[in-house]
């Protein structure tokens, strides 16, 4: 199956090589050499995958990622990061990147990451109603929104992913390791503390009293469990 890929890389030799490699896999590739060009492409059309270098002339890859996630929580993003820039990796994942590769990388590794990300995109979602309520909170996972008390709140892609997984396992405990594998893709530098921080944010958005949650419950030593209210 052919996908539309935006490749953002300022190194001309690498950009040409990656464009040729992705095209040889049957994908349609649009290449951008700097942040300004990439920003224009991202505003003009949607892509099935964005391969995004962090260090760019003009707006950085992290700036572009932040802008993209503000309006699009769905498009997969693969970051290209420099060796030793651990802070960029962590920040990129927190901003909503789906995966990353560290330069210098092998072409085989990058293509394997791309294939895995596009395979997940091609696979149909498990049957799940994307709109549901938890108490006073009306949740729309597809729109990344929660409406509660007359206010509309935005869900980050990872928060939405956690809620989706909890709802798929409704009533059962979801281990932190499962969140890391299913929502974060098992990438390094993300641990239990990140899961707990995202859960705290979710509780503040969903629960009437986040310190005494009714729906997003802790399963000590394991992870979290979603308890849905009984239908009237």
What's the average model confidence in pLDDT over 50-73?
91
Burial label for 195, CB within 10 Å (0-12, 13-18, 19+), is buried
What was the pLDDT predicted at 124?
A: 47
pLDDT digit string (tens) for 157-174?
999 999 999 988 888 888
Domains and CATH numbers, the chain: 4-122 (3.40.50.2300), 131-226 (1.10.10.10)
Query: What does the pLDDT read at residue 128?
Result: 52
Length of the chain counted residue by residue: 232
Chain segment 87-139, per-residue pLDDT in tens: 788 888 888 888 889 998 999 999 998 988 887 666 544 445 688 899 999 99
pLDDT at 184 over 90: no
pTM above 0.75, yes or no: no
DSSP the chain: ---EEEEE-S-HHHHHHHHHHHHHTT-EEEEESSHHHHHHHHHH---SEEEEESS-SSS-HHHHHHHHHHH-S-S-EEEEEETT-HHHHHHHHHHT--EEEEES--HHHHHHHHHHHHHHHHSPPPS--SEEEETTEEEETTTTEEEETTEEEEPPHHHHHHHHHHHHTTTSEEEHHHHHHHTSTT-TT--HHHHHHHHHHHHHHH-SSTTS-SSEEEETTTEEEE-PPPP-
């Amino acid at each position: 199956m052919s996908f539309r890929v935006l490749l953002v890389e300022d190194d001309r030799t690498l950009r040409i090589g990656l464009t040729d490699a992705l095209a040889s896999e049957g994908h349609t590739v649009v290449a951008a050499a700097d942040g300004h060009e990439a920003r224009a492409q991202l505003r003009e059309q949607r892509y099935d995958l964005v391969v995004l270098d962090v260090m760019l002339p003009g707006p950085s890859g992290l700036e572009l990622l932040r802008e993209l996630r503000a309006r699009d929580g769905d498009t997969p993003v693969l970051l290209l990061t420099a060796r030793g820039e651990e802070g960029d990796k962590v920040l990129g994942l927190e901003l909503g990147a789906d995966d990353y590769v560290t330069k210098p990388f092998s072409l085989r590794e990058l293509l394997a990451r791309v294939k895995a990300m596009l395979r997940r995109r091609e696979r149909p979602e498990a049957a799940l109603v994307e709109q549901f309520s938890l108490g006073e909170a009306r949740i729309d996972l597809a729109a990344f929104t929660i409406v509660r008390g007359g206010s509309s709140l935005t869900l980050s892609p990872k928060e939405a992913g956690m809620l989706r997984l909890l709802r798929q396992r409704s009533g059962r405990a979801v281990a932190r390791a499962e969140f890391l594998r299913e929502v974060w893709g098992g990438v390094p530098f993300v641990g239990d503390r990140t899961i707990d921080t995202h859960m705290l944010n979710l509780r503040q958005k969903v629960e009437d009293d986040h310190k005494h949650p009714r729906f997003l419950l802790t399963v000590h030593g394991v992870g979290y469990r979603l308890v849905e209210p009984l239908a009237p």
